[in-house]
Amino acid sequence: MTEVPESTSKGAANGKASSPGRPLPKRFYEAVTVAEPAPSRSGSASAWSILLDGKTVRTPAKAVLAVPTRALALAIAEEWKAQGERIDPSTMPLTRLVNSAIDGVRGREIEVRDDIVKYAASDLLCYRAREPDGLTRRQAELWDPVLAWSRDALAADFVVADGLMPVTQPGAAKAAVARQLIDDDAFTLAAMHVITTLTGSALLALAHSRGHLDAEAAWAAAHVDEDWQIAKWGEDAEAAARRQRRWQEMQAASRLLVLLGTG
């Protein structure tokens, strides 16, 4: 089997590219193909793997890089095919995210679910500015419909507070979020956790993953306060570049959810 080069794979497992200044590894393969899963006698879910010159790719932790849908496997294969003379992990967001799911989430699903629920306990959407009026209206415009959806679709009724003082959310609301995550596999949870941490909101992550919001709408809702400040004071280049990188991570997580839903 083929192991992803250390300088590529170790960063990939953490969702990061190679260290600055470290040379990118040379491409060491020609053909990239997808291996169809063998028939399962046990009835367990089959997995599609990626082959480099006929050898199965492994994750940084030496697990087989295999995914549950053909669509996802083909998309990962395209990332490997697109590499030039050197392998650049920053251009392989799905590979990096799948490595994280296999090496970092699988076997730790309960911990990851619990962490997402912790975000729900102090969810971004529940903390409102007292002023100015334009900002409070914009927060209500983008956030209230998501809270209404969570009440209707998830049976999760969250308390909204003015200002930043902590508010204790009902146990029933947090339990409702936990129930939504119980059947999610490691790949789905990896994507959900990325979206939750990027947006600061488990509710936005759930609304997106359940088809209530597209990625752009969830991203806009997560950046109401930031966009208000930018409109007033402008944005420096470093902050803009950082936000663009985070948006690319958001897009990769969103795309992973889509690809997991197609066979």
Q: Which CATH number do you get for residue 138?
A: 1.10.3580.10
Looking at the fold, whether 91 and 122 belong to one and the same domain comes out as no
The domain containing residue 8 runs over which residues? 2-95
* Residue 104 is assigned to a structural domain of this protein: no
Write down the pLDDT at residue 165.
Answer: 84
Give per-residue pLDDT as tens, 163-193: 878 899 999 999 999 999 999 999 999 999 9
Give per-residue pLDDT as tens, 4-43: 443 333 333 344 445 556 899 999 999 999 998 866 554 4
Confidence band, pLDDT 50/70/90 cuts, at residue 52: very high
pLDDT at residue 127 is higher than 60? yes
Looking at the fold, whether 234 and 208 belong to one and the same domain comes out as yes
Please report, for the domain that includes residue 84, its CATH number. Answer: 3.30.2180.10
* Residue 240 is assigned to a structural domain of this protein: yes
Mean pLDDT of 58-72: 96
* Residue 102 is assigned to a structural domain of this protein: no
* Residue 12 is assigned to a structural domain of this protein: yes
CA distance 3 to 64: 9
Domain endpoint, select from 39, 64, 95: 95
Query: What predicted TM-score, i.e. pTM, was given to this entire model?
Result: 0.89
Looking at the fold, whether 147 and 232 belong to one and the same domain comes out as yes
Question: Could you give the 3-state DSSP secondary structure of residue 241?
Answer: helix
Write down the pLDDT at residue 84.
Answer: 95
Looking at the fold, whether 223 and 139 belong to one and the same domain comes out as yes
CA 169 from centre of chain? 25
* Residue 70 is assigned to a structural domain of this protein: yes
Please tell me the total count of domains within the chain.
2
Phi, psi values for residue 7, rounded to 5°: -70, -25
pLDDT at residue 91 is higher than 50? yes
Mean residue pLDDT of the chain comes to 90
Question: Could you give the 3-state DSSP secondary structure of residue 66?
Answer: strand
Residue showing tokens 């083929």: 2
Strand partners, 33: 51
Give per-residue pLDDT as tens, 187-239: 999 999 999 999 999 999 999 999 999 999 999 999 999 999 999 999 899 99
Looking at the fold, whether 141 and 184 belong to one and the same domain comes out as yes
Which has the closest alpha carbon to 122: 203, 225, 179? 203
Q: Which helix (H) or strand (E) holds 51?
A: strand 48-52
Domain endpoint, select from 62, 95, 128: 95
* Residue 146 is assigned to a structural domain of this protein: yes
Looking at the fold, whether 113 and 75 belong to one and the same domain comes out as no
